[in-house]
A and B are shown apart, each in its own frame.
Chain A
Amino acid sequence: MNKDIIDVDYIAALARLELDSELHDKFQQDMDAILGYVDMLSELDLSDIEPTAHAASLNNVWREDRKSEPLGQEIMLKNAPDILDDELIKVPRVLAEEGGA
Chain B
Amino acid sequence: MESQIASYNLTELKNGLKNGELSSSEICRYFIEQVKKIDSVVNAFIHFDEKQILDDAADSDLRRKEGNVFSDYDGIPIALKDLINVKDHPCSCGSKILENFISPYDSTVAERLRSKGFIFFGRANMDEYAMGSTCENSAFKITRNPWDTDRVPGGSSGGSAAAVSAGEVPVSLGSDTGGSIRQPAAFCGVVGLKPSYGRVSRYGIVAYASSLDQIGPFARDVEGVAEILGIISGHDVKDSTSLQEGKADFLAAVKEAPDDLNGIRIGLPKEYMDEKGLDADVRSSIEKTLNELRNLGAEIVDVSLPHTKYAVPAYYVIATAEASANLARFDGIRYGRRAEGANDILETYVKSRAEGFGNEVKRRILLGTYVLSSGYYDAYYLKAQKVRTLIRKDFEKVFQKCDVIFAPASPVLPFKIGEVVDDPVQMYLSDIFTISVNLAGVCGISVPSDIVKAEKELPMGVQFLGPAFGEEKILSVARTFEKNRDVQTFSPKQFGDV
Contact = CB atoms under 8 A, between A and B. Distances in A.
B102 A79 contact: yes
A97 B468 CA distance: 57
B441 A55 contact: yes
Contact of A31 (B104, B240, B367): B367
A49 B344 contact: no
Contact of B104 (A54, A76, A81): A76
Listed residue (A16, A23, A58, A63) with the most chain B CB atoms within 10 angstroms of its CB? A16
B77 interface: no
A56 B331 contact: no
B493 interface: no
B22 interface: no
Interface in A36-62: 37-42, 44, 46, 49-56, 58, 61
A38 B366 contact: no
Dominant SS at the A interface?
Answer: loop
Contacts, number: 174
B362 A27 contact: yes
Contacts of B389: 49-52
Contacts of B332: 81
B243 to A, nearest CB: 6
Contact of A53 (B105, B196, B198, B385): B385
B317 A38 contact: yes
Contact of B328 (A16, A39, A94): A16
Interface residues of A, number: 54
B336 A37 contact: no
B448 to A, nearest CB: 27
A101 B344 CA distance: 10
Contacts of A18: 350-351, 353-354
A19 B362 contact: yes
A49 B386 CA distance: 6
Given A1-B379, A1-B380, A16-B328, A92 B348 contact: yes
B405 interface: no
B316 interface: yes
A8 to B, nearest CB: 7
A93 B343 contact: yes
Listed residue (A26, A40, A42, A52) with the most chain B CB atoms within 10 angstroms of its CB? A52
Contacts of A50: 386, 389
Contacts of A89: 333-334
Contacts of A81: 332-333, 335-338
A34 interface: yes
Nearest to A56: B198
A38 B380 contact: yes
Contacts of B353: 15-18
A80 to B, nearest CB: 6
Nearest to B332: A81
A27 B354 contact: no
B365 A15 contact: yes
A79 B424 contact: no
A97 to B, nearest CB: 9
B461 to A, nearest CB: 23
B425 A80 contact: no
Contact of A52 (B337, B359, B385): B385
Contacts of B243: 56
B363 interface: yes
Interface string A10-32: 01101111110001001100110
Contacts of B367: 31, 34-35
Nearest to B91: A79
Interface string B71-113: 0000000000000000000000000000011101100000000
A37 to B, nearest CB: 5
A51 B354 contact: no
**Which 5 residue pairs spanning A and B have beta carbons closest together?**
A55-B441, A51-B385, A81-B338, A79-B335, A55-B197
10 contacts: A1-B379, A12-B366, A34-B428, A44-B390, A51-B386, A53-B385, A54-B241, A55-B438, A55-B439, A80-B334
Given A17-B357, A55-B439, 15 more contacts: A11-B373, A15-B365, A33-B424, A34-B424, A35-B367, A46-B390, A49-B386, A49-B390, A52-B388, A52-B389, A55-B440, A56-B243, A78-B102, A82-B338, A101-B343
